[in-house]
Amino acid sequence: MHKEFIALPLTGKVLSLKHVPEEHFASGSLGPGFAVQFSGDKLYAPFDGTVIATFPTGHAFILRRADGLELLMHVGIGSAKLPQAFSAQVKKYQQVKRGEVLTLIKPQFFDDATAYCPVVFSNPEIEVMVLREGQELAALSADAVKVLY
């Protein structure tokens, strides 16, 4: 079994998925993961990889690592209807490095009920451990979430 830490893609409070106020994410039906109740204005790549999907609004991205690890980052609840809240900085199939900005976020479009970023792994065999639940952490902090696969 492989164990590693995954860097947070944005600044905010790290949480288990069950705290996301959107049932599809909270139930885990979209896959294992974690969430960040964000306070920052940038979404970063948590690892080196390829952007395999982007959404026209700039609110969500799927990133795949060379070893097949894949995750969806979805910024905001109800954000698919808020294209003015984002400015995507990358395109589909673009190679990115850890720490590269994926999208700029305009925080004024979000409040405590909508400022969540679920981070969901497409790999169903992954087990996610949130080690610093409820703590406010900087983007790219790499000691809050551990994955096992």
Please give the pLDDT value at position 142.
Answer: 96
Please give the pLDDT value at position 53.
Answer: 98
Instruction: Say if residues 86 and 102 touch (Cβ distance below 8 Å).
Output: no
Q: What is d(CA 41, CA 31) in angstroms, rounded to the nearest whole number?
A: 25
Please give the pLDDT value at position 125.
Answer: 94
Per-residue pLDDT tens over the stretch 2-18? 999 999 999 999 999 99
Please give the pLDDT value at position 49.
Answer: 99
Is the Cα dihedral 28, 127, 61, 136 positive or negative?
positive
- Domain residue spans of the chain: 3-148
Q: What is d(CA 69, CA 148) in angstroms, rounded to the nearest whole number?
A: 11
Question: Of the candidates 146, 122, 149, which has an alpha carbon nearest to the alpha carbon of residue 7?
Answer: 146
Please give the pLDDT value at position 20.
Answer: 98
Low-confidence ranges of the chain (pLDDT < 70): none
Written as one letter, the residue type at 113 is: A
Q: What is the CATH number of domain 3-148?
A: 2.70.70.10
Provide the whole-model pTM.
0.96
Q: Decide: residue 7, CB within 10 A, 0-12 exposed, 13-18 middle, 19+ buried.
A: middle
